[in-house]
Amino acid sequence: MTLLACWLNGQPIQCLSPLERGFAYGDGLFSTLRVEQAQVPLLDLHWQRLWIGCQRLQLNTDDFAQWQQDFLQFVAQFPQAMAKIIVTRGEGGRGYLPDPQQKTHCYFYAYPLNLHPVANQTGIKTDVLQGRLGINPTLAGLKHVNRLEQVLLRQELALTAYPEGIVLDYFGHVTEGVFSNMFIVRDGQLWTPRLELAGVAGIMREHLCQLAPQLGYAVTEATLGIDDIVNADEAFFCNSVYGIWPIRQIGQHSKADNPITQHLQQQLYYV
Amino acid sequence: MTLLACWLNGQPIQCLSPLERGFAYGDGLFSTLRVEQAQVPLLDLHWQRLWIGCQRLQLNTDDFAQWQQDFLQFVAQFPQAMAKIIVTRGEGGRGYLPDPQQKTHCYFYAYPLNLHPVANQTGIKTDVLQGRLGINPTLAGLKHVNRLEQVLLRQELALTAYPEGIVLDYFGHVTEGVFSNMFIVRDGQLWTPRLELAGVAGIMREHLCQLAPQLGYAVTEATLGIDDIVNADEAFFCNSVYGIWPIRQIGQHSKADNPITQHLQQQLYYV
C-alpha cells in the first residue's frame, strides 16, 4: 500500500531513526482512523483510548494537546485517507530501559482510503481460527504495537475464504476477530467478550456500548464461549473502519434474521 | 547510547523505512551479541535461535547464509562492540497481512561495548518483581521484538536497588529475570524454568544446558515456584552478555556457598 505521508511530532519525515524504540521493542500504541472529507468519526474516542494507553504504559503525554492540534492540520492536508496515529517512547535508552529525558514521539501516517467490500455489510461467513491469543492482563485491551499475534492470525485467516475469523484466547474463550471486536444478540440484549485478559478495546466497540443502550438495548461484557456465539440470535464483527459485519454463518451453523444488528448498522451514520 | 552503525541487508543505512513492519507491529526477531577482538562467542547458537524463530514466525530465510556472511564483515569493521541482529518481515503489506513478495530484512546494529559492573560476578541481591509475564505458547521462548512486557519490567526494576529481578508468569511460576534466564542448584543438579508458556530461550541458558552435563551436572527444565528458588542450594541469573550472576540474597533470604555456580563461571571462557 502506498504511503501518502508520514509526520513525526507535526513535521513531515522521510524515514525513521534507527534508534526508534517502536522498532526495537514495539514500545508504543497506535490507532487506525477513517478520514473522509476531512472528517474523522469518533475521533474523541481514538484520543481517549490513546490517552488511557499512555497512562497504562507510562508514556509521557505533555504534548498530547499539541498532537491533537497537529492531527487536525494533517487531516486537512489528507482529507480522504486511512490514517494511523502511532505514539512511541521515542529513541534510545539503554536496552529495555528508556531514557527518562526522551520525549514521546507521535507519528501520523496517511494511506489511500481502501475500504473493504461493501457486500460484507449484508453479512459474512466465518469460523473459529486455530491460533489463540495469549493471556496478558498487563497489556490486554491496549492497541499497542506488539502485534505479532495478529500478524500470525491474519496469515492464518488469509488461508481461509473468510473476511474475518473468530479468535479464542488460551483458555478457549471467545475474544474478538483478527482485526475486529464481536457482539452477540440474545433476547433483545447485546453481549460482548470481556477484554481483561486479551484482545483490543476497539473504538467501534466502545461506541456501540454507548449507542446501543440509547437505542434500547442493554450491553453486557461477559466471558463467552463459542457455543454462545453459535446459539445467539444474532452476531456481528465490528470495527471503526468498516462499521458492522453481520455474521450469517459460523462453520456449518447458519443464522436467521438479524433486526437488531441492522438497526445498529442504520444508526452508524458514516459507514 | 551512541549508535556506531546500522546496516540493512549488508549495507550501511542512516534511517529506517516508515513502512518497516518491525516498527508497525514488532513483526520480527532479534539477538544481542558481545563482540570482542572481532570474536563473537556462541555465534552459532545465536544463528540457530534466529533460524528457529524464523520457522516459528514464518519469516523467509532464503538469504540466511548471506546474513551470516555479511555479519562476519560487520564484526570485522566493529571488532569491539555490543551488536544486535534484527530480522523483520520487511516493509508494507496491507495492515497486519504481509506482502508475500516482500523479502525478510536483516539489520545489524553496533553500539559501544558497555558492560555491567564486574562486581555482579561475585553475587547480587534480588527479589521478585510485581509485574507478571503473560501466557503465550505461540510466542513463548522466542526473542521476538514484541517486548513491551520487558520494557515495563525494566522500568519497575529501575525503581529497586537490584541489578536484576525475578519475574513470575500469570500463573505465579518463576520464569526468568527481566533480561536474563535463571538456574537453581539442588543436590548437585541444575534446574531451570520451562519456557513453553512465557519467557525467552536465552543463548547462555542453551549453552549451560549443553555445558553443565559435560561437567557432571544434570540439567532439568521444570515448573518452578519462588519457594524452589529460595530453598535451592544455589541460584543464578545468566545471559550471553554478562555470563553468570550468582544470587546471594532473595528479599531477606540469604544463600550460602555456591561451588557449582563458581565452577560453571570458571568454564565460561569469555566472561
The reply to whether A130 and A101 lie within a common domain is no
The reply to whether A128 and A102 lie within a common domain is no
Query: What pLDDT digit, counting tens, does each position of A49-105 carry?
Result: 999 999 999 999 999 999 999 999 999 999 999 999 999 999 988 899 999 888 999
User: Which residues partner with A5 through β-bridges?
Assistant: A110
The reply to whether B175 and B200 lie within a common domain is yes
Task: Give the pLDDT confidence score for residue B68 in this predicted structure.
Answer: 98
The reply to whether A122 and A108 lie within a common domain is no
Residue B253: strand, helix, or coil: strand
- What pTM value is reported for the model? 0.97
Q: Active site includes A143?
A: yes
Task: Give the pLDDT confidence score for residue A33 in this predicted structure.
Answer: 97
| Whole-angstrom distance, CA of residue B263 vs CA of residue B234 | 12
Task: Give the pLDDT confidence score for residue B231 in this predicted structure.
Answer: 97
| Whole-angstrom distance, CA of residue B24 vs CA of residue B16 | 12
The answer on pLDDT for A122 being more than 80 is: yes
The reply to whether A27 and A134 lie within a common domain is no
If residue A111 lies in a helix (H) or strand (E), which one and from where to where? strand A105-111
Query: What pLDDT digit, counting tens, does each position of A183-241 carry?
Result: 999 999 999 999 999 999 999 999 999 999 999 999 999 999 999 999 999 999 999 99
Q: Which of A88, A104, A143, A234 is catalytic?
A: A143
Mean pLDDT by 10 residues, chain B (271 residues): 94 97 96 96 97 97 98 98 97 91 94 92 97 98 98 98 98 98 98 98 98 98 98 97 97 96 92 72
Grid cell listed for B254: 540469604
The reply to whether B108 and B155 lie within a common domain is no
- Give Cα B15 to chain centroid, integer Å: 25
Domain termination residue (choose one: A60, A78, A112)? A112
| Whole-angstrom distance, CA of residue B153 vs CA of residue B151 | 6
The reply to whether A220 and A146 lie within a common domain is yes
Domain coverage including residue B215: 117-267
Check which CATH number belongs to the domain holding B26 and give it.
Answer: 3.30.470.10
Domain termination residue (choose one: B97, B112, B127)? B112
A23 → closest Cβ in B16, B89, B179: B16
Mean pLDDT of A121-135: 98
Please identify every residue of B annotated as catalytic.
32, 143, 176
* A contacts of B175 (beta carbons < 8 Å): none
Taking a C-beta distance cutoff of 8 angstroms, is the pair B167, B193 a contact?
Answer: no
Band the pLDDT of A269: cuts 50, 70, 90. confident
Q: What is the ipTM of this complex?
A: 0.96
B36: which DSSP letter? B
Amino acid identity, residue A127? D
The reply to whether A99 and A139 lie within a common domain is no
**What's the mean per-residue pLDDT of chain A?**
96
Domain count within chain B: 2
The answer on pLDDT for A166 being more than 90 is: yes
Domain termination residue (choose one: A66, A94, A112)? A112
The reply to whether B135 and B79 lie within a common domain is no
Burial class (CB in 10 A: 0-12, 13-18, 19+), B4: middle
Q: How far is CA B227 from CA A165, B173, B174, B221, B231, in A?
A: 42, 10, 9, 16, 6
| Calculated CA dihedral for residues A143, A147, A150, A152, nearest 10 degrees | 180
Query: Are B154 and A97 inside 8 Å of each other by CB?
Result: yes
Q: What's the start-to-end Cα distance of chain B, in Å?
A: 22
Check which CATH number belongs to the domain holding A153 and give it.
Answer: 3.20.10.10
Task: Give the pLDDT confidence score for residue A23 in this predicted structure.
Answer: 95
Band the pLDDT of A169: cuts 50, 70, 90. very high
With CA atoms as reference, the chain A residue closest to B152 would be A57
The reply to whether B175 and B214 lie within a common domain is yes
The reply to whether A154 and A40 lie within a common domain is no
Task: Give the pLDDT confidence score for residue A45 in this predicted structure.
Answer: 97
- Segment 13-42 of chain A within 8 Å of chain B by CB: 13-27, 30, 32
Taking a C-beta distance cutoff of 8 angstroms, is the pair A42, A208 a contact?
Answer: no
- How much of chain A, in percent, has pLDDT values that exceed 70? 100
The answer on pLDDT for A115 being more than 90 is: no
Grid cell listed for A150: 495478529
Amino acid identity, residue B236? F
The reply to whether B41 and B135 lie within a common domain is no
B91 touches A: beta carbon within 8 Å = no
| Whole-angstrom distance, CA of residue A180 vs CA of residue A61 | 27
| Whole-angstrom distance, CA of residue A83 vs CA of residue A78 | 9
- Segment 176-215 of chain B within 8 Å of chain A by CB: 178-179
